Amino acid sequence: APQEAPAADASVVNITGSNSVNVFLGLGAPWTIAALYWKFHGRDAEWEALYPDVASEISGAAFVVETKNLGFSVFTFCIVCCLALALLHFRRKWVGAELGGSLVAKLNTAVCFVFMWCGWVAVVSW
């Protein structure tokens, strides 16, 4: 299918959409389950020991997600996403499509994407 298409727009949209759904379900479902668990399980000594600051502010228990460096992670992720979209744009301009092309172009793009992902993980994990 993508090999025969003049451009790989449908494939890129499919990948992006399915990854979005995976993230929404992958984060949303466990967070919802955890929120319901703590809502109905209630406060205990373990929860109070884990979240003393929150325990002093609220009367019951809640699912706590500490943001710490969330802003930095989102900012750097947006930069990497912009770089990836720019790479896809230039591939379309120079190679003629987002996917496919010569073996060298495919390998260079794959290596760039892997390094961008590894670099992002390394930066936000320090």
Contacts by 53-59, CB closer than 8 A, 24 or more apart: none
DSSP state of 95: T
Mean pLDDT, 10 residues at a time, over the chain (126 residues)? 62 79 83 88 86 87 82 93 93 80 86 95 90
Per-residue pLDDT, 69: 83
Q: What span, in angstroms and rounded, lies between the C-alpha atoms of 111 and 105? A: 10
N-terminal to C-terminal alpha carbon distance within the chain: 41
Per-residue pLDDT, 113: 95
pTM for the predicted model, two decimal places: 0.57
Nearest Cα to 19, choosing from 84, 103, 76? Answer: 84
- Give the DSSP per-residue string, 58-76: -SS-------TTHHHHHHH
Q: In this structure, are residues 118 and 29 in contact, taking their beta carbons and an 8 Å threshold?
A: no
Per-residue pLDDT, 2: 57
Q: What span, in angstroms and rounded, lies between the C-alpha atoms of 84 and 82? A: 5
